[in-house]
Amino acid sequence: MNKDAELQELIHRSREISYRNFGRNINFYYTSNYFPAVSVTGSYCALNCRHCARVLIKRLTPATTPEELVRACLKFHEQGSVGVLITGGCTRDGRVPLHGFLDAIREIKERTDLILIAHTGIVGYDEAKGLKGVGIDGVCVDIVGSEETTKEIYGIELCPEDYEKTLKAFEKARIGNISPHLCVGLHYGRLRHESNALEIISSINPSNVVIIGLTNLVGTPMERIRITPGDLIEILCLTRIKFPGSYVSLGCARGKGELRAEIDKLAVEAGVNNVAVPTLSAYREAKKLNLKIREFKACCAVLPKQLKTE
């Protein structure tokens, strides 16, 4: 069997599992002003990852003190936002420094009905318990399955056990929505860490596994590198097969232009549950397959049960 035929077989298996467990439905998510992202470190990140080079963090709303975070979230709430992604740059040990913002998160939850998702980096149990205690609605963490990839791309030394301990800390803290992210092609566009990343994720029962792809950001050392749509879809299908009862989402980072459109078409064909900022190609494929489309104004890390259908 050639590679194209193998991929089609995977797509078929993935779709059958999805329809069996979730029905012929698909959820399209839109972020924009509905679900803005706030950086608790402003434009600062101690890392200088080869795929990002601090480009992404400069696009976020800065809120570097607890008071600024509360003000920003109250403003977003007044403007009609559904929720906020609380994130930031990493420290040298791969953590997003959220510990000083717990009281602010509690205040935001008490004063608004915003859905708050934390993008955390590496955490321990005490930090996970702290987030749970102040009412966080969900957590995201990027999972890298290879020490070589972490060292080469992130420039730091983290081992798979660090990611596994983080996921288990969230589970032990009983956070209701754990949505690990897996970036396909992170190692210079090639498949390298992904299969082991799925093994790490399988140390818990994830609510939602978010598949993203290396995006060629201008101004980064990897701006000329493109992923192969088939590689991303292969990992997405393997994710569905490995986690039949968890949501599988196609995250907003997944390339541009025709590449993005091809990924969307194949992902919908493979029975993906959630698509962030879908292309016209995603809509066309969903209608072709006669799927029921639901639309949400939120980040795709938010579970449908946490949202109101538009």
Residue-range domain boundaries for the chain: 26-304
CA distance 227 to 146: 18
10-residue mean pLDDT series, the chain (310 residues): 89 98 97 93 91 86 98 97 96 95 98 97 97 98 96 93 98 98 96 97 98 91 93 98 98 92 98 97 97 95 82
Which residues 6+ apart lie within 8 Å of 294 measured at CB? 25, 26, 27, 28, 304, 309, 310
Check: CB of residue 111 under 8 Å from CB of residue 71: no
pLDDT in the model for residue 309: 56
Token couple for 202: 């399988």
| 26-304 classified as CATH 3.40.50.2300 | no
Per-residue pLDDT tens over the stretch 178-187: 999 999 999 9
Tell me the pTM: 0.95
Report the phi/psi class of residue 117: left, alpha or beta, with left for phi > 0 and alpha for psi in -120 to 50. Answer: beta
Angle at 35 between CA 54 and CA 270, to 5 degrees: 85
pLDDT in the model for residue 282: 98
Specify the DSSP element, H or E, that contains 76. Answer: helix 66-78
pLDDT in the model for residue 52: 87
CA distance 309 to 114: 16
pLDDT in the model for residue 186: 96
